[in-house]
Structure 1
């Protein structure tokens, strides 16, 4: 992903977008990243899709990477949905005749699933990995109640995410690069947490309303987001959803030692939809 541009959010923030600058005749993939990170961490995956003939577009979520906004904050979930809708609309305008696929990891998976539920779209298919539908360690109820209260009184209150870095991947080089990445942050506001947390359960409860083809994947050894969340989502959904659980793998499937197998599985699923 090389070409940098930006779109303007409805509240005036510049949302950074990136393109592999490849004019595909096959399809377009829009990548939505996870909490605290940024889209350039998906360069290797984007390069793979490019080599398979797809145009790849990614963007940094507000408050992340090169996008503007307080780190790890959103005024409300609808702002996140609107940001994705604006990226999608721009891609649709730029590639009016091509099928569009969505990819979302972790929090990005939460956003992609809710986008399919809440916004009109014409998506050919979507892939979510390690989706934040439930946390790997469910917070006690009193903490959730306190977070809800805080989000209404002091929505911009920022706290560390306390991310367990070793749970990202079994590849130690991935952890080292994450630790030294200046665009990575460890902040989350009370408003951001509450909005995304409850949107995860909303997606599970309304899974059968999504009609687009979906590939839902999760590492069985994921300690950051719960594999049970993806399983519950798939159980509530229709025949359009294909669930693939990966034994022994951690949170970032695309950064695991088996990543080539992951990429091949994804591209085979996408190509079948086009054929």
Structure 2
């Protein structure tokens, strides 16, 4: 994907936006990436949907990729939501006739779900994979308390994410490329972690307020974000909006469904779900 535009954030940061350069009459998929990565790790997903006639847009979250900002930092969750809203409104203005679908992976899935719950929109639907609602491991309570204290005292304190790379995908080539990618980073600040972590529980608690079609997918063997978080979200949502929410668990797959050996099957499943909404 090539950089086609940008927005300026509330605190005057440049947020870079990328496109597959396809002028579609069918629909648009707007991608939100995960922690530490960037938009162009989804180039193969953009290629798949390009061949199916969709415009694909992706943006680098603040502190990631080509966007400005301290690596892995946000002053507040509101800043992340405002950035996303500004990107969405720009895309909506640039492509006024196209139905828009949001896609978010991992931390990006956390952002997408909270965007649906907190911001007015005219989206056709949304998809999330491996959303960060709960971690795949439970941090000790004292670590959470310490992180909250640190976020109040020194919010920009940066630490390594200590990401287990082998848990991303069963495809070792994906791991190698991730390690060699100069735009990937392994930093997260106290403020970023605390804000995103508690926004995950907020999304679960408010899942019943989802009012557009939503596809949630998770690998059953994901060790980075918990499939139980996706199950809890879907269960809460289905109490009130059963017809809107679909949960799909992929048996044996790891965190990055779009980078697993079964990626074509994953993309096709997403495509079928979108096409049914466009009928």
**Counterpart-to-counterpart distance in 2, 1:3 and 1:229:** 34
Secondary structure of the residue that 1:83 maps to in structure 2?
Answer: helix
Secondary structure of the residue that 2:170 maps to in structure 1?
Answer: coil
**Counterpart-to-counterpart distance in 2, 1:53 and 1:228:** 34
Q: Does the 8 A contact of 1:219 with 1:246 survive in 2?
A: yes
Secondary structure of the residue that 2:231 maps to in structure 1?
Answer: helix
1:229-244 to structure 2, matched below 5 A, reads 229-237=229-237, 238-239=241-242, 240-244=244-248
Give the drift of 1:15.
Answer: 0.3
Corresponding residue number in structure 2 for 1:116: 116
Structure 2, unmatched stretches of 5+, are none
**Counterpart-to-counterpart distance in 1, 2:104 and 2:162:** 22
Corresponding residue number in structure 2 for 1:213: 213
Corresponding residue number in structure 2 for 1:248: 252
2:271 is the alignment partner of 1:267: yes
Corresponding residue number in structure 1 for 2:191: 191
Please give the per-residue CA displacement for 1:41-92, whole angstroms capped at 9, x wherever unaligned.
Answer: 0000011011111101100000000000000000000000001101100011
Q: Does the 8 A contact of 2:219 with 2:251 survive in 1?
A: yes
2:177 is the alignment partner of 1:173: no
Corresponding residue number in structure 2 for 1:55: 55
Q: Does the 8 A contact of 2:3 with 2:16 survive in 1?
A: no
Structure 1, unmatched stretches of 5+, are none
**Counterpart-to-counterpart distance in 2, 1:180 and 1:230:** 31
1:77-96 to structure 2, matched below 5 A, reads 77-96=77-96
Secondary structure of the residue that 1:43 maps to in structure 2?
Answer: helix
Give the drift of 1:3.
Answer: 3.7
**Counterpart-to-counterpart distance in 2, 1:128 and 1:147:** 26
Corresponding residue number in structure 1 for 2:20: 20
Q: Does the 8 A contact of 1:72 with 1:189 survive in 2?
A: yes
2:151 is the alignment partner of 1:147: no
Corresponding residue number in structure 2 for 1:258: 262
Q: Does the 8 A contact of 1:3 with 1:18 survive in 2?
A: yes
- The alignment of Structure 1 onto Structure 2 pairs a total of residues equal to 275
Q: What RMSD in Å do the two structures reach over aligned CA positions? A: 0.6
Please give the per-residue CA displacement for 1:192-225, whole angstroms capped at 9, x wherever unaligned.
Answer: 0000000000000000101110000000000000
Secondary structure of the residue that 1:102 maps to in structure 2?
Answer: strand
Please give the per-residue CA displacement for 1:68-127, whole angstroms capped at 9, x wherever unaligned.
Answer: 000000000000000110110001101111110000000000000000000000110000
Given the two structures, how large is their TM-score scaled by the length of structure 1? 0.99
Given the two structures, how large is their TM-score scaled by the length of structure 2? 0.98
**Counterpart-to-counterpart distance in 1, 2:97 and 2:64:** 31
